[in-house]
Structure 1
Amino acid sequence: MGFYDKIIRSLPSITDPKVHLNFKKRLIWTAVILLLFIILGQITVYGVSRTAQERFQFLEMILGSKMGSLITLGIGPIVTASIILQLLVGSKIIPWNLRTQEGKIKFQGTQKLLTVFFCIFEAVAYVSFGAIQPLSPDPGLMMLIIAQLTFGGVLILLMDEVVSKWGIGSGVSLFIAAGVTAGIFVGALNPCANVGTPGCTLGDPSAGIFPFGHIPQAISYLQIGEVTQTILSLLPLIATITVFFIVVYVQAIKVEIPLAFGSFRGFSRRWPLKFIYTSNIPVILAAALLANMQLLGSMMAGRGITILGTFDENGTSTGGLLHYLLTPHSSAIQVFSITLLIVIFAGGMLAFYLKHRNAGKIVAGSIVLGIVLAAIVSNAFIGLPTGDEMLRLTGHVMFMVIASVVFSIFWVATAGMDARSVAEQIQGLGMQIPGFRRDPRIVESVLNRYIPTLAVLGGIFVGLLAAVADLTGALGTGTGILLTVMIIYNLYEQISMQYVEDMHPAVRKFFGH
């Protein structure tokens, strides 16, 4: 065993359970970690200025963090380490064979080592560049804050490992879903008119003071007869519901490969390949990459370095490269994007249910019709988006789509989801494609007709949907909604397949068994 192997094997880790854990025990472990995550989010780091805690809240939902608390770093170090390592291994700069046990151990150990490194690096960067401001410039206090942030980041890493081994799903997904869900409820129902200040000042429409929550806000506008403002207040809620149904609908689309058992004649099954083949992983990585770029740009701009962009005191981009990659926020963009999203979704459903031969033409026609209707509706309600807003819209959509496709391709190569790995898995189950010899190379050639295409198309779809959903101003951010719905749906499927036998009969019915 080499020196490097000894290092990665000596890293702190969570042991695998020695005995089988039933659904109830795994659910308890998951709930305990979620509760611990929420508690850690309420523990403020000692020595931090309270005003600093509100500066970067736009990152909290995507990175599963809470600024100024022990979970300030969130899943940022984990995702950053994963992005870098995937790029290095996927491009063969690091020539590891992930199909071997040795390659997998090196990959996982290196990812953990990189995560610990980024916990330290990001903690130093947060404090040094002013994202987290100490109460005083005392070097000792700054070191103490860095140590607390690093400790919190490593704790998140271990909590993620606990959920993966002892709970249900993954900790990264759990933390994202928790943050987005909290954001949705606060954004929809918060009756307070003041945000970021102590206490709660209730809205008073007669005095021009309106609640922060969109539902109370819409009711307040309706009370004073502002119908247009009422509709605009409800747009994020409409966008949230629309994105929810689109994701649930598309999750069910799949290609099924017919298989037969080689040893038992007459027995067969189908191997499903989902349209969103790599699930929500590409969007998590793309959104985290953009969030890290935004954070880095904000911190650099605070030091007078404006290579990535310039920002105002609220962290909103005002110029530079990131200005044309981040989501533009305006009522005109919201109305335009929601109308476009609804029309395209309606066109897709129409093509599916009619089983039309030219389904692609129907979807393409719905896109053209959607753009025309979106322009008409937007112009009627609030006015057309400006040229700068449309340029920013295009930049954000292109970034999310391209990044999602790249990460989708790399994820297939590094996560054992490529045609060869799936063919070996099918071969190991004693199955083959009817009418062909029992040879994994034949299965691989058939799978190669679908998997690379699904990886690209799935990446394009989730990137496009996340970007457009962001533009609609959906509660919890469009990307957050997309991730959360997919996380919950995948969790439902995992529970339904793996743990249904451990459930109470009444609960089992809920999962369709």
Structure 2
Amino acid sequence: MSNNSKFWRLAALVPQVQCPDQPIPFRQKVVYTTSVLAIFLVASQLPLYGINHRPRTIEPDPLHWMYLIVAANRNTLLTHGILAILAPEVLMNFVVVTKTIILDTSTPETRILMSRAQKLLGILITILGAVSFYVQSYHFTVNTVLVMLQILCSGIIVIYLDDVLKKGYGLLSGTSLFTATSSCGNILWKALSPMSIIYPGKGAEFEGAVVAWVHLLITRTDKLSAMSKAFYRQNLPNITSFLATCGFVPLAILFQGFYITLPVRTGSIFQAECRIKLSNFLYGPIVLHHFFVPLPYFISKVLYMKYNGNILVNLLGPWNRSNHFGQSIPTGGIAYYLTTPPTFVDLHRDPLHAFIYVSFVLISCVILSEWVILCAPVKGIYNGFVVLKEERRLRVAQPDSIHVNEILSYVRKAACVGGFLAGALIIFADLIGVLGTGTGVMLAVTALYPYFDGRASEVGSFGY
């Protein structure tokens, strides 16, 4: 594609946030980040004006997987979540790596043009999302126009909130902040939700695992039965999943400190150790895993709801209502073999399912790690992936004792190891039944860890 094409000429007209003229103080960054996060949280709860809102239920939602992918909340201003910033970034990185578009990403002008192009793609995706609402409504009314305008404006606001954070005004990129917030919010809701569900003949139960535990202990005379119900109920989040999440988070944090040591010489005399931290390779693969892996579930479920008699649709996977937190699960086909086995016992019961699932997660994480490295600029590899043991000023030193290709070789090996271990942690988290998903918990930990590691400002949307 030529840089003089209509698309690039149109992208050059897209406004963007100006970079700060001087370094932003830490406190001011905290204010910017907190303000952006507050706007995101409020927008994720504000209902769209002009549509009929139904009370929250535990009925299965055919778009459940899609909302998890893009940190969306149905029938709110963030109906499409971060799709407008995540999809363009993935697409632009893909076309550059595959050389579909020949661009010299080392020049500042090209990077600015790519940033504008991502915003243009995000705006186009937002417009398509607004039009899709009109297509689903089957009629054109004033309310339809109002809803479309709300979706369009909120999508554009999300794009520029992300741009504010990326330009150095915040502590982390918008993709990192929003996905981590969505994952943490999902976990906290499942643990502490005060919403009560009324079951015919059984009475009311609270959705939150901890709240339900306290309620059952207070209201039931048989405390043993109450404890058993709170720990092992299948229709809603339970205490076992809550404790599994509390135990898994420290394990995921511990993994952030793993590194591979590479001796280098920073001068003619001075010798230093170069640490290639595995945690630097985690966020990109986990984001992409979070984005791509649920897509087969979403496609299979939507097709099955409309064409459940079709042979090809059944090959993708039939779906049945499950007691697992009110959501449907695949019972066969391709989607079934890509779904986490419910318990450790199922690993022995259906070893083929376990083998295919484990292989799929591990291989996909390794491939995505390799892809992230291919997308990373060389500067990002030196300044982000390679960390010297000594003073921080030595991070920018060029290791003259080892050729750059050898450094890149070590980085790729570290990326593969990091992706493999991240996949193993995701599998373990899913098998022990953490609240939400294993990918979601890993996503939150890996996105928030740079805040405490002192390198939050150095981490981009995909970890570099």
What's 1:467 paired with? 427
How far residue 47 of structure 1 moved from its aligned partner, in angstroms, is 2.7
Specify the SS of the correspondent of 2:206.
coil
What's 2:206 paired with? 211
RMSD of equivalent CA atoms: 3.7
The within-5 A match list for 1:66-465 is 66-125=73-132, 128=135, 134=137, 137-138=139-140, 141-142=143-144, 144-165=146-167, 166-194=169-197, 209-219=204-214, 224=222, 225-226=224-225, 228-232=228-232, 233-262=238-267, 265-266=269-270, 269-304=272-307, 307=313, 308-311=316-319, 316-318=328-330, 319-327=332-340, 330=342, 333=343, 336=344, 375=345, 384=346, 387=349, 392-416=353-377, 429-433=396-400, 436=401, 442-465=402-425
Whether the 8 Å CA contact 2:426–2:438 is kept in 1: the answer is yes
Whether the 8 Å CA contact 2:289–2:439 is kept in 1: the answer is no
Q: Which amino acid aligns with 1:321?
A: I
1:5-61 Cα offsets, whole Å, 9 max, x none, are 432221132111223210011100111111111111222122333249873455445
- Total equivalences in the alignment: 424
Task: Provide the C-alpha distance between the structure 1 equivalents of 2:95 and 2:16, rounded to a whole number of angstroms.
Answer: 24
What's 2:441 paired with? 481
Task: Provide the C-alpha distance between the structure 2 equivalents of 1:424 and 1:176, rounded to a whole number of angstroms.
Answer: 22
Distance 1:88 1:231, change over 3 A: same
Distance 1:105 1:163, change over 3 A: closer
How far residue 457 of structure 1 moved from its aligned partner, in angstroms, is 1.5
Task: Provide the C-alpha distance between the structure 2 equivalents of 1:19 and 1:402, rounded to a whole number of angstroms.
Answer: 43
Task: Provide the C-alpha distance between the structure 2 equivalents of 1:419 and 1:141, rounded to a whole number of angstroms.
Answer: 47
Q: Which amino acid aligns with 2:212?
A: Q
What's 2:14 paired with? 11
Distance 1:57 1:145, change over 3 A: same
Normalising by structure 2, what TM-score?
0.78
1:407-461 Cα offsets, whole Å, 9 max, x none, are 211211112158986699999945434xx3xxxxx43143144111111121122
What's 1:352 paired with? none
- Runs (5+) with no aligned partner, structure 1: 195-200, 337-374, 376-383, 437-441, 499-513
Whether the 8 Å CA contact 2:12–2:117 is kept in 1: the answer is no
What's 2:40 paired with? 37
Task: Provide the C-alpha distance between the structure 2 equivalents of 1:458 and 1:447, rounded to a whole number of angstroms.
Answer: 16
What's 1:508 paired with? none
Distance 1:288 1:68, change over 3 A: same
Whether the 8 Å CA contact 2:8–2:117 is kept in 1: the answer is no
How far residue 481 of structure 1 moved from its aligned partner, in angstroms, is 1.1
Whether the 8 Å CA contact 2:95–2:101 is kept in 1: the answer is yes
How far residue 236 of structure 1 moved from its aligned partner, in angstroms, is 0.8
Whether the 8 Å CA contact 2:29–2:170 is kept in 1: the answer is yes
Whether the 8 Å CA contact 1:404–1:459 is kept in 2: the answer is yes
Whether the 8 Å CA contact 2:65–2:298 is kept in 1: the answer is no
1:273-311 Cα offsets, whole Å, 9 max, x none, are 112342211111111123344444444445438645555
Specify the SS of the correspondent of 2:276.
strand
Task: Provide the C-alpha distance between the structure 2 equivalents of 1:297 and 1:146, rounded to a whole number of angstroms.
Answer: 27
Distance 1:423 1:181, change over 3 A: closer
Distance 1:417 1:432, change over 3 A: closer
Specify the SS of the correspondent of 2:33.
helix
Whether the 8 Å CA contact 2:69–2:291 is kept in 1: the answer is yes
How far residue 123 of structure 1 moved from its aligned partner, in angstroms, is 4.0
1:234-277 Cα offsets, whole Å, 9 max, x none, are 221222123211211111111233344437x55x5433211234
Task: Provide the C-alpha distance between the structure 1 equivalents of 2:229 and 2:380, rounded to a whole number of angstroms.
Answer: 52
Q: Which amino acid aligns with 1:487?
A: A
How far residue 191 of structure 1 moved from its aligned partner, in angstroms, is 4.3
Percent of aligned pairs sharing the same letter = 22
Whether the 8 Å CA contact 1:412–1:418 is kept in 2: the answer is no
Task: Provide the C-alpha distance between the structure 1 equivalents of 2:247 and 2:385, rounded to a whole number of angstroms.
Answer: 39
What's 1:506 paired with? none
Q: Which amino acid aligns with 1:251?
A: Q
Task: Provide the C-alpha distance between the structure 2 equivalents of 1:326 and 1:7, rounded to a whole number of angstroms.
Answer: 42
Task: Provide the C-alpha distance between the structure 2 equivalents of 1:256 and 1:497, rounded to a whole number of angstroms.
Answer: 24
Task: Provide the C-alpha distance between the structure 1 equivalents of 2:40 and 2:373, rounded to a whole number of angstroms.
Answer: 30
Q: Which amino acid aligns with 1:2?
A: N
Whether the 8 Å CA contact 2:77–2:150 is kept in 1: the answer is yes
1:154-179 Cα offsets, whole Å, 9 max, x none, are 22111111122211111111112222
Task: Provide the C-alpha distance between the structure 2 equivalents of 1:184 and 1:216, rounded to a whole number of angstroms.
Answer: 14
Task: Provide the C-alpha distance between the structure 1 equivalents of 2:94 and 2:448, rounded to a whole number of angstroms.
Answer: 28
Q: Which amino acid aligns with 2:71?
A: G
Task: Provide the C-alpha distance between the structure 2 equivalents of 1:417 and 1:470, rounded to a whole number of angstroms.
Answer: 35
The answer as to 2:451 corresponding to 1:491 is yes
